[in-house]
Amino acid sequence: MEELGTIQDVALKELWPGEATHFTPWLVQNLDVLGKKLGMDLEIESTETSCGAFSADIVAQDLSTSKRVVIENQYGGTDHKHLGQLITYASVLGAGVVVWIAETIRPEHKRAMDFLNQNLKESLSLYAVKASAIRIDGSKPAFVLTVVSMPSEVSVSPDNSPAPSETKERYRSYFQSLIDELRETHNFTNARTGQPQNWYTFASENSKVYRYSTGFAQGGRVRVEVYIDCDDKAKNEQMFDCLLQHKQEIEAALGCELSWERLDSRRACRIAVYRDGDIDADSETLADIKNWTVQNLLKFKAVFPAKFQQCA
C-alpha cells in the first residue's frame, strides 16, 4: 500500500507577513484565482480606494456583467467592523458585488451574508470566502479558497417587479450555453452565469487595453470582436492604427475578412467579424451561431495577443 502524506494547515501570515502589505498585493496580481472560484472574469480597478475615513482593499469589475466588485481581506476571523465596512464600501462606490475574504467565517456572519443575499436579491450580491493554506508533509504550500456564502444561482425577482421578457430569457439561455462551453471545454472564461442581455464581454490577456466580446448587433447580425479601450481615446486610436498596418497578416491568420471600426465618435475602437443571425432564430440556427461564435473567439484569442504586444 502506498504511503500517504499528512495534510498540515499553514497560517496565511507564514506566506504573507502582512495582510495589507503582502497578501492584498499578491491577490491583485493573481486575481484570476479568486475569479475562477467566484465564476467571474475580474479586472482590477484600484486598491486602497478611499471611502471617507476608510479605504477598500481592492475594487475590481466583473467584465461579464459590468458590475463593480469590492473585495475586503482580513486575517483571522470575521468581525462586525468589516461587515459594516463592506456595506459602506458598496454604497459609496456603487458596487453590485462584495467579497469578504477571511481565514475564518464566523457562523453569525455567514447567516448575515445569507440573509442579505436573500433580501437584497439582485441589487447586491455578497460572497463570504474562507482563505487558507495547506501543505502535505514538506511540500510547497497550496492556497485554498472556499466559498462559504454566496447568492442563490436562481435569481428571484421582487414581488412587485415584472418577470423578465421572453426575449431576455432567450438571451440568458443562449449566453448560458455559450459561456458553459467556453469555460468547461476551452478554459476561455471564468464566467458562470448567463445574463439577460444581448452581449457578453470576456477578459483578455491585457484587459486594461482590450477585451473579447460577442453580441447580437443591429440589422440581424451577430458579432465577435476585440474591443480596444484603455480609457484614453488617443491611445486607443494609436493601437488601432498600428494593428491596421498588420491587417493582411491578421486576416490571413484568422482566415476571414474583418470589419475595422475606428469609431471616431467614440472613445473605443473595434475589430470584428459578423454573420447573419438574431436571438429569435430556431434552436438549430442558434446552435450554429454559438458554434461560429466559439470558433471565432478562440481564433481571436490565438492571433491577437501577439499583435497587441507588437503594437505596445
| Domain presence at residue 95 | yes
Provide the CATH number for the domain around residue 13: 3.40.1350.10
Task: Please check whether residues 172 and 306 belong to one and the same domain.
Answer: yes
**Global confidence as pTM:** 0.79
Q: Which of 149, 179, 205 is the last residue of a domain?
A: 149
Task: Please check whether residues 145 and 176 belong to one and the same domain.
Answer: no
Q: Which of 116, 149, 182 is the last residue of a domain?
A: 149
pLDDT band at 162 (very low <50, low <70, confident <90, very high): low
| Domain presence at residue 154 | no
Element (H, E) at 195: none
The whole domain housing 288 covers: 166-311
Q: Is the pLDDT of residue 158 over 50?
A: no
| Domain presence at residue 155 | no
Task: Please check whether residues 232 and 130 belong to one and the same domain.
Answer: no
Q: Which of 123, 149, 175 is the last residue of a domain?
A: 149
Name the more confident of 202 and 157.
202
pLDDT band at 127 (very low <50, low <70, confident <90, very high): very high
Cell numbers found for residue 16:
504573507
Could you give the number of structural domains in the chain?
Answer: 2
Task: Please check whether residues 92 and 194 belong to one and the same domain.
Answer: no
Q: Is the pLDDT of residue 108 over 70?
A: yes
Mean per-residue pLDDT, 137-150: 93
Provide the CATH number for the domain around residue 245: 3.30.1460
Least confident of 19-23, 122-126, 284-288: 122-126
pLDDT of residue 301: 97
| Domain presence at residue 220 | yes
pLDDT of residue 164: 63
Average per-residue pLDDT for the chain = 92
**pLDDT tens, 14-35?**
999 999 999 999 999 999 999 9
List, in order, residues 6 or more apart from 64 with CB less than 8 Å away: 40, 41, 179, 189, 191, 193, 195, 200, 201, 202
In this structure, what is the dihedral angle of CA atoms 42, 47, 52, 54, given to the nearest 10 degrees?
100
Task: Please check whether residues 213 and 183 belong to one and the same domain.
Answer: yes
| Vertex 308 angle, CA 253 and 60, to 5° | 125
Q: Is the pLDDT of residue 206 over 70?
A: yes
CA distance to 6, 17, 225, 238, per residue, from 3 (Å) = 10, 33, 52, 60
CA distance to 4, 59, 171, 292, per residue, from 288 (Å) = 49, 38, 15, 6
Give CA–CA dist 229/237, Å, rounded. 9
**pLDDT tens, 249-270?**
999 999 999 999 999 889 999 9
Task: Please check whether residues 69 and 175 belong to one and the same domain.
Answer: no
